[in-house]
Amino acid sequence: MTIIDIIEKKKRKQELTHEQIAFVIKGMLDKTIEDYQISSLLMAIVLNGMTLDETVYLTEEMLNSGDKIDLSSIEGVVVDKHSTGGVGDKVTLILAPLLASLGIKIAKMSGRGLGHTGGTIDKLEAIPGYQVELSREEFIKQVNDIGISIISQSGNIVPADKKLYALRDVTGTVDSIPLIASSIMSKKIASGADLIFIDVKVGSGALMNNLEDAKKLANTMIEIGKRFNKMVICILTDMNEPLGYAIGNSLEVKEAIESLNGYGPKDVMELIVSIASLVLNKTKNIDMDEARDMCMKQLTNGQAYNKFKQLVEYQHGTIEDIKIASKVFSVKSPKSGYINEIDALSLGEVAREIGAGRLTKDDVIDPTVGLVLTHKTGDYVNENDELLKVYLNEKDIKIDDILKCFNISSDKMKKVPLIYEILD
Ligand code: URA
């Protein structure tokens, strides 16, 4: 068997065997296969796809390339939640403590942001002192003690994904359903949870731009889950406009705190309550309406926020010390009309430009900067009304780059739904 035969086979749209996929992953890691050969195979996969069997073999080989976390010493159903990435997506910061306050065990390993999308670990690091790195023992002890821990993916979890993802990122081969599904699922299975909840974002600010592809991705991940005896639930949600109002790490933590106290933005609250009630329904067999009431209660009686505080304090963070950039700039509407579009992708890029995100893995982010929208799509604005506030330090912004993100017109367009579909 040679890598050239395997590339040729995929180029001719033929199905690779388990043995061939194992050969590729092993060769990539022991460096007997060159990066350019892996890149060539990746491009053939992007163009010609993979069957479900091939995708499962790839997931299995990636999973077996590193350590697997054993969470069996945690009592009860352990839930993990993943988002395929978006702009203003602070869901984990709210959902995880809410569920933990309802007795669901959350053992979560999260990632950092890359490109225009944010990452939970960057947001948690905006809380001064918050330790994102814990040993396996500390991680499990914390979940047993307080029911929740959120740490960064560390150690030797799926090294094959680190290598593959780095190559995909620089060879235009990220947007492939089998590659995305195997990348996400290998890490989620290695992280050891029983129930994996995946928020598949759909829209301009997401990896999946249309509902059809998002469904294909969701169904592929659900099928992979079945082969590994993991329950996977996918919720397909909108990412054409940013979620909530805040984009940028400290600003998003502040918005998460407001949401944990029951007064977050409408879309954020709706998404949180929908996901949390579904988790309660699936794990505890609680009727959906009752589950929604239970979630709303926890978000208004201080319990969800108290759990968040407990999480932060246990990991040595101080909520009171969160800093926001001092230079504030208000961007005004050039005309009157309905805001029909707020382009999540472009706003994510503006936030990244001013330091809220990174272009390469090694860039240092500024947690204090970001944007806060004043409106959501569907709102009416008069000329000169504020569209958003920019919080920044030394970097400048181009107002035109921000204005380009807004489509304002005299006709009101129909708003797309926040939640498209739930698949399991
Ligand atoms: N997130 C991942 O973890 N992997 C991908 O391939 C895409 C998004």
CB 37 within 8 A of CB 164: no
Look up 395 and say whether it is catalytic.
Answer: no
Look up 254 and say whether it is catalytic.
Answer: no
* Single-letter amino acid code for the residue at 298: Q
Residue 86 reports pLDDT greater than 80? yes
- Ligand 1 neighbour 184 (Cβ under 6 A): yes
3-state secondary structure of 2: coil
What b/e readout covers 238-277, taking b as 16+ CB neighbours within 10 angstroms?
bbbbbbbbbbbbbbbbbbbbbbbebebbebbbebbbbbbb
- Ligand 1 neighbour 176 (Cβ under 6 A): no
Candidate of 46, 207, 217 to mutate for ligand 1, largest count of ligand atoms within 8 Å of Cβ = 207
Q: 265, 70, 223, 39: which is closest to 157 by C-alpha?
A: 70
CB 424 within 8 A of CB 221: no
- Ligand 1 neighbour 153 (Cβ under 6 A): no
**pLDDT single digits (tens) 116-135:** 777 899 999 999 999 999 99
- Give the distance (Å) from ligand 1 centre to CA of residue 242: 19
The pLDDT value recorded for residue 25 is 98
3-state secondary structure of 133: coil
CB neighbours of 57 closer than 8 A, spacing ≥ 6? Answer: 16, 17, 18, 21, 22
- Give the distance (Å) from ligand 1 centre to CA of residue 180: 5
List the structure tokens of 345. 């992708």
- Ligand 1 neighbour 183 (Cβ under 6 A): yes
Residue 83 reports pLDDT greater than 70? yes
CB neighbours of 286 closer than 8 A, spacing ≥ 6? Answer: 277, 280, 294
CB 350 within 8 A of CB 405: yes
Q: How far is CA 89 from CA 37, 238, 244, in A?
A: 35, 11, 8
Candidate of 63, 169, 184 to mutate for ligand 1, largest count of ligand atoms within 8 Å of Cβ = 184
The pLDDT value recorded for residue 114 is 67
- Give the distance (Å) from ligand 1 centre to CA of residue 394: 32
Q: How far is CA 273 from CA 240, 242, 270, 355, in A?
A: 20, 18, 5, 31
* Single-letter amino acid code for the residue at 7: I
Nearest CA to ligand 1 atom 5: 180
Residue 266 reports pLDDT greater than 80? yes
Residue 303 reports pLDDT greater than 80? yes
**pLDDT single digits (tens) 329-343:** 999 999 999 999 999
Look up 316 and say whether it is catalytic.
Answer: no
- Give the distance (Å) from ligand 1 centre to CA of residue 333: 36
Angle subtended at Cα 94 by Cα 90 and Cα 96, rounded to the nearest 5 degrees: 110
- Ligand 1 neighbour 340 (Cβ under 6 A): no
Report, as an integer, the average pLDDT of 308-314.
98
Candidate of 50, 84, 153, 158 to mutate for ligand 1, largest count of ligand atoms within 8 Å of Cβ = 84
Look up 89 and say whether it is catalytic.
Answer: no
Confidence band for 77, pLDDT divided at 50, 70 and 90:
confident
CB 110 within 8 A of CB 125: no
First-to-last alpha carbon distance for the chain, in angstroms, is 38
**pLDDT single digits (tens) 133-172:** 999 999 999 999 999 999 998 778 999 999 998 899 889 8
Q: What percent of the chain has pLDDT over 70?
A: 99
Angle subtended at Cα 416 by Cα 112 and Cα 98, rounded to the nearest 5 degrees: 45
The pLDDT value recorded for residue 17 is 98
Task: Dump the DSSP string for 184-203.
Answer: HHHHHHHTT-SEEEEEEEES
CB 282 within 8 A of CB 235: no
Predicted TM-score (pTM) of the model is 0.93
**pLDDT single digits (tens) 400-413:** 999 999 999 999 99
What pairs with residue 238 in β-bridges?
202
User: Mean pLDDT of all residues in the chain?
Assistant: 94
Q: How far is CA 172 from CA 168, 176, 236, in A?
A: 6, 10, 24
Q: Which member of 10, 187, 230, 375 is catalytic?
A: 187
The pLDDT value recorded for residue 49 is 98
The pLDDT value recorded for residue 76 is 87
Candidate of 58, 164, 170, 183 to mutate for ligand 1, largest count of ligand atoms within 8 Å of Cβ = 183
Query: Domains in the chain and their CATH numbers?
Result: 3-49 (1.20.970.10), 78-320 (3.40.1030.10), 324-409 (3.90.1170.30)
Angle subtended at Cα 67 by Cα 65 and Cα 72, rounded to the nearest 5 degrees: 135
Report, as an integer, the average pLDDT of 94-122.
89
Report, as an integer, the average pLDDT of 311-320.
97
Q: Where are the alpha helices (DSSP H) in 126-210?
A: 136-146, 159-170, 177-190
Look up 35 and say whether it is catalytic.
Answer: no
- Ligand 1 neighbour 84 (Cβ under 6 A): yes
- Give the distance (Å) from ligand 1 centre to CA of residue 198: 12
Nearest CA to ligand 1 atom 7: 180
Q: How many Å apart are CA 37 and CA 138, to the nearest integer?
A: 40
Task: Count how many Cα atoms sit within 13 Å of the Cα of residue 82 in the half-sphere of its side chain.
Answer: 25
